[in-house]
């Protein structure tokens, strides 16, 4: 009996000591902040989608077997409590590879796991009922749901004689839903024109100039867009491979059904990204920011953070990210990259595996809290060199913040200007115990740990 009691006591000590300093400091930061902790965690309920933090709720080759929708459902409440305001799901409808497909080879836009075709009834992710249960769970947790829309190309059609090529093409689409039947007249080349911006991977390339295609994609009362929104319950849109068609396509979709929209325009040219967002009436993933961070944190030269990025040109249209299902090149100092996007302008996205498997979830939750409660207003870059990066958010609905990223091997300190005069400030990450008072001229000395970061704001 004495041995059992000793074991329980030892276990209690281990569990108690395992609470890191970061955990304690995060709890204190949430309580001491001008927003109380309960309100801070539920701030996303009052935010419109695009002003909080998005979770990419999948990765390439998630487990097959129809379990993914249920897996995500179990996590939504915790994500919401952490401050996530939207989840981005993979392409949800039936694709050519049926139970094994990640959805980027779409066949039947109206089959969400309820028709027996392409080798299965369920999709890789689950059934229609499980998808709708997930969406209901998300909505009950004040979390919006973003659909991945793949409308550049299709896959899985039967062979037919094609009068525009003089041979046979795989363009005869007869989906079991009976909706959006397609033929060679709906793909390139056809009787309208031979091609648009670009085809992908040899798949049949949809022609968005055909009125029949437009009607089925967004115009009809039972169009794909309206079915996704009104029947399935999606709130927003992530458009795949938008380089393959003109931006007016996304604009037309958004005009027909509304909702937040972001396009995957894979290009690091900021002017091109900015042009696309204005033409498409949508946001774009900030690939310019992604590549600047890759070069900064992987090559150990933070001067790259001085590069131009979409968030610097139009922060309201920039969706920032550190990794996604297609690209994950920031292997070193990845948490520093998250400290960057979660304190700067733009709509930051967290990658599922970074949050659930690879990085410190407590640190990410802390940064999400900082983003949702402190990171507002315009941005001023205060200092940048090989190892240091310091920037100031000037505040809008809050007092703003100063973020200090240190990629050197030792603690660093630096005097910086603030927006606060004769004011006590603190580090809301818990990485520094300093609580300095700003001078009457607003200057203050702050510090950051090696290969770490601090985020400063008023107490």
What whole-number distance in Å separates Cα of residue 90 and Cα of residue 107?
15
Helices (H) then strands (E): counts for the chain: 15, 19
Q: State the average pLDDT over residues 130-141.
A: 98
What whole-number distance in Å separates Cα of residue 375 and Cα of residue 287?
21
Express each pLDDT in 214-233 by its tens digit.
Answer: 999 999 999 999 999 999 99
Q: In this predicted structure, what is the pLDDT of residue 29?
A: 37
Query: Over 60: is that where the pLDDT of 40 sits?
Result: no
Q: State the average pLDDT over residues 262-272.
A: 98
Q: Decide: pTM greater than 0.85.
A: yes
* CB neighbour class for 6 (10 Å; exposed up to 12, middle 13-18, buried from 19): exposed
Query: Over 50: is that where the pLDDT of 242 sits?
Result: yes
Q: State the average pLDDT over residues 330-344.
A: 96
How high does pLDDT run on average in the chain?
91
| Residue 68: strand, helix, or coil | helix
What whole-number distance in Å separates Cα of residue 141 and Cα of residue 344?
26
Express each pLDDT in 313-336 by its tens digit.
Answer: 999 999 999 999 999 999 989 999
Does the bond joining 189 to the residue before it have cis omega, within 30 degrees of 0? yes
Residue 441 in tokens: 């001229």
48 falls in which pLDDT band (50, 70, 90)? Answer: confident
CATH architecture of 35-285: Alpha-Beta Barrel (3.20)
Angle between helices 334-341 and 361-373 (to 10 degrees): 20
C-alpha R_g of the chain: 24
Query: Over 90: is that where the pLDDT of 209 sits?
Result: yes
Which of 48-52, 169-173, 235-239, 358-362 shows the lowest per-residue confidence on average (mean pLDDT)? 48-52
% pLDDT > 90, the chain? 87
* Ramachandran category for residue 141: left, alpha or beta (phi over 0 → left; psi -120 to 50 → alpha): alpha
Q: In this predicted structure, what is the pLDDT of residue 383?
A: 98
Q: In this predicted structure, what is the pLDDT of residue 69?
A: 99
Q: In this predicted structure, what is the pLDDT of residue 100?
A: 98
Other CB atoms within 10 A of residue 119 CB: 12
Question: Would you kindly state where each structural domain of the chain is located, as residue ranges?
Answer: 35-285
49 falls in which pLDDT band (50, 70, 90)? Answer: confident
Residue 401 in tokens: 């913040």
Express each pLDDT in 68-98 by its tens digit.
Answer: 999 999 999 999 999 999 999 999 999 999 9
Query: Over 60: is that where the pLDDT of 307 sits?
Result: yes
């Amino acid at each position: 009996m004495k041995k059992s009691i000793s074991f329980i006591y030892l276990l209690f000590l281990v569990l108690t000591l395992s609470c890191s300093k970061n955990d304690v400091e995060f709890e204190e930061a949430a309580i001491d902040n001008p927003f109380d902790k309960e309100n801070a965690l539920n701030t996303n309920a009052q935010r419109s989608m695009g002003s909080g933090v998005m979770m990419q709720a999948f990765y390439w080759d998630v487990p097959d077997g129809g379990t993914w929708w249920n897996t995500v459902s179990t996590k939504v409440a915790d994500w919401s409590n952490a401050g996530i305001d939207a989840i981005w799901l993979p392409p949800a409808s039936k694709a050519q590879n049926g139970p094994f497909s990640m959805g980027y080879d779409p066949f039947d836009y109206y089959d969400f796991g309820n028709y027996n075709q392409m080798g299965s009834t369920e999709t890789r992710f689950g059934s229609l009922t499980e998808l709708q249960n997930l969406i209901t769970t998300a909505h009950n947790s004040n979390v919006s749901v973003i659909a991945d829309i793949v409308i550049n190309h299709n896959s899985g059609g039967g062979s037919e004689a094609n009068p525009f090529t003089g041979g046979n093409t795989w363009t005869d689409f007869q989906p079991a839903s009976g909706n959006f039947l397609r033929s060679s007249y709906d793909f390139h080349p056809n009787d309208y024109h031979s091609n648009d911006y670009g085809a992908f991977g040899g798949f049949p390339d949809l022609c968005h100039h055909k009125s029949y295609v437009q009607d089925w994609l967004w115009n009809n009362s039972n169009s794909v867009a309206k079915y996704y929104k009104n029947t399935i319950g999606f709130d927003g849109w992530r458009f795949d491979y938008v380089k393959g068609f003109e931006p007016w396509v996304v604009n037309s979709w958004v005009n027909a059904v509304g909702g937040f929209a972001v396009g995957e325009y894979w290009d690091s040219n900021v002017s091109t990204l900015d042009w696309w967002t204005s033409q498409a009436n949508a946001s774009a993933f900030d690939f310019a920011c992604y590549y600047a961070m890759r070069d900064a944190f992987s090559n150990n030269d933070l001067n790259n953070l001085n590069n131009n990025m979409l968030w610097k040109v139009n922060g309201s249209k920039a969706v920032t990210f550190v990794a996604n299902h297609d690209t994950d090149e920031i292997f070193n100092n990845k948490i520093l990259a998250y400290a960057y996007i979660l304190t700067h302008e733009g709509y930051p996205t967290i990658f599922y595996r970074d949050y659930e498997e690879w990085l410190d979830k407590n640190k990410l939750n802390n940064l999400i809290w900082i983003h949702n409660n402190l990171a507002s207003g315009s941005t001023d870059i205060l200092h940048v060199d090989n190892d240091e990066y310091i920037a100031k958010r000037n505040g809008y609905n809050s007092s703003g913040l100063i973020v200090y990223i240190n990629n050197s091997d030792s603690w660093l300190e630096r005097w910086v200007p603030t927006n606060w005069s004769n004011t006590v400030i603190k580090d809301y990450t818990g990485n520094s115990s300093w609580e300095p008072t700003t001078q009457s001229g607003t200057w203050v000395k702050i510090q950051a740990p090696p290969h770490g970061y601090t985020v400063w704001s008023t107490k």
